[in-house]
Structure 1
Amino acid sequence: MELDPQNALSAIQAGIRQASALIVTYSFSVLGAVLLLVIGFVVAGLVERWIYAGLGQVSGFDLTLRRFFSKIARYVVLGLVVVMVLGQFGIQTASVIAAIGAVGLAIGLALQGTLQNIAAGIMLLALRPLRIGEYVEVGSIAGTVEEIGLFATRLRAADGIYVLAPNSTLWTQPVKNFTRNGVRRNDITITVPNADNIDGIQKTLLGLAERDVRVRKEPAPTAFVAELGDSTMDITLRYWTSVSDFLSAKVELNKSVRNILNGSAK
């Protein structure tokens, strides 16, 4: 079968026209996609900086949260840009969004525990039941807070041990913050025979507290009978100090009270 030169030429010309139309069409699509990507990256960067700066104007807003929310805003803008770019090539964006939603749901279910820690970290940073440098106790966890992250919080125990606690654990239990209020109370209780001079013992204990410059004048220290037994009674010295003076005052006053007891026993 002989090839008709005229038909062959017509077929070639038709192919060239179709290829030219496709090139023109997709050239505009590629150009539009490139422009969208460039503009999208610029806008995403601007949005990130605006949100970071705006949250910085909020008094006491945590630096970690500022970075977190500004980054989230950036990625949201970039995600919208990617969907728009795919639309330039005729891809059904509704299907893409549905697929992204399904993938996000699957990832969320797989990382459920991690997401709980992130949510708890945001709440800890926003409500601030504990801050860096504060000594806290949460269930069996106790120590000085060194870093509050989005996933976990790092603490240093009283004996210097490194502690890394998941944020969800810290958020779901009551927090005892020994530093936040700035002052702490301490009770020193001694047991003496009922025959001893109660007024004299109380006066002696109060004198010890009042002479110690670390003991606060308000609330004033007090000494009282805490418990009365058949042959003995418990007398308690109650006083308040600043958080920084709590341990040293406790050690010294315990020593002074012990010396008095030893002296009276001789």
Structure 2
Amino acid sequence: MQDQINKSFNLLSEKLLSWFNAFVKNLPNLLIAIIVLVAFYYIAKYASKLVKRLISKRINQDSLVNIISKMTTIVVVAIGLFLALGVLNLSKTLETLIGAAGVSGLVIGLALQGTLSNTFAGIVLSFRKSIELGHWVETNGFSGEVVEISLKNFVVREADNNMVMIPNKNILENPVKNYSLTPKIRVSFNCGVGYESNLEFVEELTKKTIVNAFKGIEKEEDVEFYYQEFGGSSINFLCRFWIEGDKAIYKLRAINTAIIALKKAFDKNDINIPFPIRTLQFDNELTLDKNNVEKQPKEEKQ
């Protein structure tokens, strides 16, 4: 029994001694590996700040800038770790880590396929100059102001102040109408006048009224006027003109202003804007002949 204990103790001592010798032998490599890790730690901090400064000039989304800067830090630290493992002659461990990372990345990518597609779509949208924060857009059946472009959702504030969160991939896969890319908006509205109206005078009055109602319209030639049809109660026309603006709300305000001004002008000049009516016309006179009316028999009193 004593011999077995001594034998085990000797084996343990030899093992510890071999570990100590290996530690002393690899101590320079260990110091170099530590220096590499510390150096890459500070390099990662500097690289993160540099990337954040450069990207913030192109991207207005703070959350996205922070994510990209953190990803830069992770990449630089990972490079330092791999170099440190290489200095320690742990090539097999390095290969194992790379293989495990590849398999894990594949599994995670398959599991988070939708999330990753939204993430990459958010990055692409953040670099697009055609879609920026504050733009008024219409897409996927929604219309509003772009208030946020995150790594997951495209957030739009509608005219009724409701927030709509649309997945980023849907923005890339569907058409987007951006009202803020051009400095002007075309305004069009329809109206109708009575059949008894002087059509030439109506056209002239409409153009003059629009020019007087909007400062940006200098001459009557800038206002388009077209009669379209003989309607059931009126002769209908289309009026179009351009205004300064980059949001849909400006178009609504312009239509409101044009309708009010045109109604006042038509009322002042006795121009009728008919509403749907039905006229009943009787060409013959109805008469009642008392002699032809049959007399009803009177009830006999009992």
Superposition TM-score, scaled by structure 1 size: 0.82
Check the 8 A contact 1:83/1:96 in 2, yes or no.
no
Structure 2 partner of 1:35: 35
Q: 1:62 aligns with which of 59, 63, 87?
A: 59
Q: In terms of mean alpha carbon deviation, does 120-129 or 241-250 score higher?
A: 241-250
Distance 1:225 1:21, change over 3 A: same
Check the 8 A contact 1:154/1:164 in 2, yes or no.
yes
Amino acid at match of 1:225: Y
Structure 1 partner of 2:289: none
Check the 8 A contact 2:209/2:265 in 1, yes or no.
no
Distance 1:79 1:141 in 2: 42
Partner SS state of residue 159, structure 2? coil
Structure 2 partner of 1:167: 168
Amino acid at match of 1:240: W
Q: In the alignment, does 2:280 pair up with 1:248? A: no
Structure 1 partner of 2:262: 257
**Correspondences of 1:110-189 after superposition (within 5 Å):** 110-189=111-190
CA shift at 1:228, angstroms? 4.5
Structure 2 partner of 1:233: 235
Distance 1:45 1:78 in 2: 9
Distance 2:173 2:11 in 1: 74
CA shift at 1:222, angstroms? 2.0
The structure with the largest alpha-carbon Rg is: 2
Distance 1:204 1:12 in 2: 108
Aligned residues: 260
CA shift at 1:49, angstroms? 3.0
Structure 2 partner of 1:18: 18
Q: In terms of mean alpha carbon deviation, does 96-105 or 230-239 score higher?
A: 230-239
Amino acid at match of 2:255: K
CA shift at 1:34, angstroms? 2.1
Amino acid at match of 1:233: I
Distance 1:189 1:21, change over 3 A: same
CA shift at 1:129, angstroms? 3.0
Structure 2 partner of 1:221: 223
Partner SS state of residue 171, structure 1? helix
Two-structure CA RMSD over aligned residues (Å): 3.3
Check the 8 A contact 2:213/2:261 in 1, yes or no.
no
CA shift at 1:19, angstroms? 4.4
Structure 1 residue runs without a partner (length 5+): none
- State the identity as a percent: 24
Structure whose residues are more often helix by fraction: 1
Structure 2 partner of 1:73: 72
Distance 1:22 1:196, change over 3 A: same
Amino acid at match of 2:116: L
CA shift at 1:204, angstroms? 0.8
Q: In terms of mean alpha carbon deviation, does 135-144 or 47-56 score higher?
A: 47-56
Distance 1:252 1:231, change over 3 A: closer
Distance 2:240 2:77 in 1: 61
Q: In terms of mean alpha carbon deviation, does 151-160 or 237-246 score higher?
A: 237-246
Amino acid at match of 1:226: Q
CA shift at 1:36, angstroms? 2.2
CA shift at 1:24, angstroms? 0.9
Partner SS state of residue 182, structure 2? coil
Structure 2 partner of 1:85: 84
Distance 1:11 1:153, change over 3 A: closer
Check the 8 A contact 2:207/2:223 in 1, yes or no.
yes
Structure 2 residue runs without a partner (length 5+): 274-302
Superposition TM-score, scaled by structure 2 size: 0.73
CA shift at 1:256, angstroms? 2.4
Amino acid at match of 1:265: N
Distance 1:15 1:123 in 2: 56
Partner SS state of residue 142, structure 1? strand
